[in-house]
Amino acid sequence: MKSGMKVTEDNAESVLAALKELSGMDVLVGIPEGNAPREDGKLNNAEIGYLQSTGATIQIDGVTVTLPPRPFLDIGIEDTRSRTTAHLKAAAGLVLEGNADGARTELERAGIIASDGAKKVISDGDRLQPLSEKTLQARREQGLPGEKPLYAHGYLLRSITYVVRKK
């Protein structure tokens, strides 16, 4: 019995190849090792980002300092979730069409949006735990502008990016 269906193009091989390639990939947002070095201190951007995100009690120049959590990455990723999800869905659709390059482009777009969201949290500065008076005083003494948390020089903000990589 015939179904009346006629196969005009068999792209099963390209679909399987695209699925294999993309199923083994991740989009990661944060501060990769290549963006971590700093010229102005002992800690790198990745370490500072982690300590600021989670909060910590650390020694700075012999003084014990407690940093409140300022989860800029989590907030930025959550803020952009609907837009990044749309790109991830588009990537899945392109995989089903056998278009691995198009799907990878959608993953890249999701990474750009999420990393820009985290940067916006820092540049806006209004949803993070405010700086202590002691930190504000130290900034004034150093001639550093502003009162935004995590933004004295902009090093941390500029280090935030994304990578699309194999798991």
Asked whether residue 84 is assigned to any structural domain, the reply reads yes
- Give the residue, 63 or 28, on which the prediction is more confident: 28
Model confidence at 2, pLDDT cuts 50, 70, 90, reads low
- Give the residue, 103 or 35, on which the prediction is more confident: 103
Q: Identify whether the C-beta of residue 18 lies closer than 8 Å to the C-beta of residue 98.
A: yes
Asked whether residue 107 is assigned to any structural domain, the reply reads yes
What gap in Å lies between CA 77 and CA 111, rounded to an integer?
10
Overall average pLDDT of the 139-158 stretch: 92
* Nearest Cα residue to 38 out of 162, 165, 154: 154
Q: How many domains does the chain contain in total?
A: 1
pTM listed for this prediction = 0.84
* Nearest Cα residue to 135 out of 37, 68, 74, 36: 68
pLDDT in tens, 82-112: 999 999 999 988 888 888 899 999 999 999 9
Asked whether residue 97 is assigned to any structural domain, the reply reads yes
Domain that holds residue 76: 15-31+71-166
Structure tokens at 74: 């989590």
Asked whether residue 54 is assigned to any structural domain, the reply reads no
Percent of the chain residues topping a pLDDT of 90: 62
pLDDT of residue 38: 82
Asked whether residue 53 is assigned to any structural domain, the reply reads no
Asked whether residue 46 is assigned to any structural domain, the reply reads no
Chain-centre distance for alpha carbon 87: 15
pLDDT of residue 37: 82
